[in-house]
Structure 1
Amino acid sequence: MTYYEYAGEMQELCFKISQAQKVLGETGLYDFYYATSTGFEELRGKMSVEEADRPIDKNQEETLENTSAYVKEVQQQAAEKLGQEATA
């Protein structure tokens, strides 16, 4: 995976987390992850071709895996909250 692809994946994951945090009422975490998503978007627009094409390192691979797992967890929590609100 290239660094450009990594930044795109992280942008999308952080945006998903921000939306789930919004549902959960965690405004601080919503703000943090929304800003992080925006930061990755800006990073992708500013990186050089050389930087964009370089492969990601092991730490970035682990970060991507951990963030993906967290997305699933927080989206599940948000879905449960919405389900409870719908039946209340």
Structure 2
Amino acid sequence: MSEELGYPVSEATLDAYASEAKESHKISLERFIALIMATECHDLLGFVAGFFDHVVVPERYGSLIELHLIEEHEREVQRRKQAIEAKWKAGR
């Protein structure tokens, strides 16, 4: 972390971040990012996303997810179109 941040982060500080008993010792976002970079523990990103009912996935899956969302939207538009057509035909 010290290397990533460009200033020293002591072992005692890291221990305090990890300790559940030290509630007053909160890690800053800058240091949290450096921790993830230093440990390569990308699962920690999910810790934050989970508070917002989201997940974190590797970027390489972004297009696949976007495609799925577009297909869901297309199905919803088709359902709405069919409902409107049925309503129109019933009212003639």
Same fold by TM-score greater than 0.5 = no
TM-score w.r.t. the length of structure 1 is 0.34
Hey, which of these two has a bigger chunk of helix by percent?
1
TM-score by length of 2: 0.33
